[in-house]
Amino acid sequence: MSKSETVTCDLTVIGAGMAGMAATLFAVNRGVKTIQAGRSGESVFASGLLDLLGIHPISASKWWDNPWAGIDALVHDMPDHPYARIQKEEIKDAFTELLSFLKNSGHSYSRYTDRNVEILTALGTLKTTYCVPDTMWGAVKALAEKRDCLIVSFNGLKGFSARMIAGVLHDRWPDLRAVRIAFPGTDRLSEVYPEFMANALVTAENRQKLAEALKPHIKDAQVVGMPAILGLYRCQKVIADLEALLGVSIFEIPTMPPAITGLRLKEAFDQGLRNKRENYFPQQQVLKARQKSNGDFEIIIGNSIMEQTVVSKGVILATGRFIGGGLQADRKRIRETIFDLPVCQPEKRTQWHRENLLDKQGHPINMAGLETDEEFRPIDRDGMPVYDLLFAAGSILAHQDWKRMKCGSGLAIATAYAAVRAFVHRCRR
């Protein structure tokens, strides 16, 4: 392994998921010299939908039409939840800033600012969410208006069945039809993949062929729903061309992972931040991290080929939980993998899970993570910040179950915003 020269910055963001990308965005927008490092393997699992809050309490499976009212109830009932450390106006500001950035990066979203919406899934169920990519927003409107709609699936595309979607939703959406066709150029293939299909639609010729295959099936349909394969880049152009060729509105439906929607979101961040970050070390692992005698952090980043030393005043830890590698479990305990910070967790491993796998309350291990002070600085067992300028954001935080609460993106965006704000405030003292 070869070594390269040391690079310096004000802030190192460790993590390349939603929390890491959002933290980097908020930092560079405030003139902070920022370096980002981390793996983004979880991106392929992203639906592209941005949740704020869907369910609380978990045990009652209570869905909230107004996520802001849900947050009020959540904060009242769970004062240790990360949302309780952030004012609602700050959460709103964080979303506004991030959505503006994504729009400028060619990945626009739509939302109703004060309520959640329902969106179709590949299973025919309806998911409650807050922000929806513009390519999918037509589904929200078509569902609300019960418009005559044709759902299209493709031979060889696994995990997406138009017939299943139409069947599951028949009682609620009677004018929903299904068709399955061959994607252009795949007649001899037993399986096709979303990325292949998205890349193929870059050319006008393939868009024309797809439209010709669809035309005989349109009939009285006012709108057409297709899996989210309508281009990896410039999706709106692909959709606009198909709409012009077919004479109907088109919307996308999120697919099962690995998904194009996650790659689009990652690409939007990468493109938009390319000339704003001081440096970016994608798919790099943090090999070692320590605080020097002068208070700066020294972080060794590397892979099997080389390593890089980064020295920074502060760090935002946005490494995620178990899949992201921020937390790791062994036979005795759950540990944080970079600084070996104290992890809030059940006292015994036997208490990690409840007896019933499908217990409505979820499992205690889902609430494990880093406890922080009001500025999102990880604390020790005495309640004191471990380091003055070390912050944490996203799903690595304790006292939240983002999957069951349907608040993953909101949690990541809001806590990243708050962590950056706290770092800037402390540096200006």
Please write the tens of the pLDDT for every residue from 390-417. 999 999 999 999 999 999 999 999 999 9
The answer to whether residue 21 sits within a structural domain is yes
Q: Rounded distance, CA 277 to CA 24, Å?
A: 7
Counted domains in the chain: 2
Which DSSP state fits 172? T
Q: Where are the beta strands (DSSP E) in 60-189?
A: 109-110, 117-120, 126-129, 132-133, 149-154, 176-181
Average pLDDT score over the chain: 93
The answer to whether residue 350 sits within a structural domain is yes
Q: Is the pLDDT of residue 56 over 90?
A: yes
Residue 69 pLDDT level (bands cut at 50, 70, 90): very high
Q: Is the pLDDT of residue 353 over 90?
A: no
CATH number at residue 421: 3.50.50.60
Q: Is the pLDDT of residue 373 over 60?
A: yes
> What is the model's pLDDT at position 303?
77
Residue 10 has a CB neighbour count (10 Å cut-off) of 18
| pLDDT per residue as tens digits for the range 134-181 | 999 999 999 999 999 999 999 999 999 999 999 999 999 999 999 999
Single residue among 200, 219, 253 that ends a domain in this structure? 253
Written as six digits, the tokens of 156 are 């060889």
Query: What does the chain come to in residues?
Result: 429
> What is the model's pLDDT at position 1?
46
Same domain flag for 17 and 94 = yes
Average pLDDT of the residues in 14-24? 95
Same domain flag for 196 and 144 = yes
* Global pTM value: 0.94
Q: Rounded distance, CA 231 to CA 413, Å?
A: 26
| pLDDT per residue as tens digits for the range 288-297 | 999 999 999 9
Q: Is the pLDDT of residue 44 over 80?
A: no
Same domain flag for 99 and 137 = no
Q: Is the pLDDT of residue 89 over 50?
A: yes
Radius of gyration (C-alpha) of the chain in whole angstroms:
23
Whether 286 and 301 have beta carbons less than 8 Å apart is answered as yes
Q: Rounded distance, CA 388 to CA 375, Å?
A: 10
Same domain flag for 249 and 270 = no
> What is the model's pLDDT at position 258?
76
Q: Rounded distance, CA 203 to CA 22, Å?
A: 32
Q: Which domain holds residue 317?
A: 2-106+266-427
Same domain flag for 206 and 332 = no
Same domain flag for 140 and 38 = no
Same domain flag for 271 and 249 = no
Q: What are phi and psi of 291, to 5 degrees?
A: -100, 130
The residue assigned the tokens 């930092």 is 27
Same domain flag for 204 and 284 = no
Residues 6 or more apart whose Cβ sits within 8 Å of residue 327? 320, 321, 334, 335, 336, 337, 343, 368, 369, 396
The answer to whether residue 259 sits within a structural domain is no
| pLDDT per residue as tens digits for the range 222-277 | 999 999 999 988 899 999 999 999 999 999 999 988 789 989 999 999 999 998 98
The answer to whether residue 412 sits within a structural domain is yes
Same domain flag for 406 and 282 = yes
Average pLDDT of the residues in 184-189? 87
> What is the model's pLDDT at position 363?
87
The answer to whether residue 112 sits within a structural domain is no
Single residue among 222, 253, 284 that ends a domain in this structure? 253
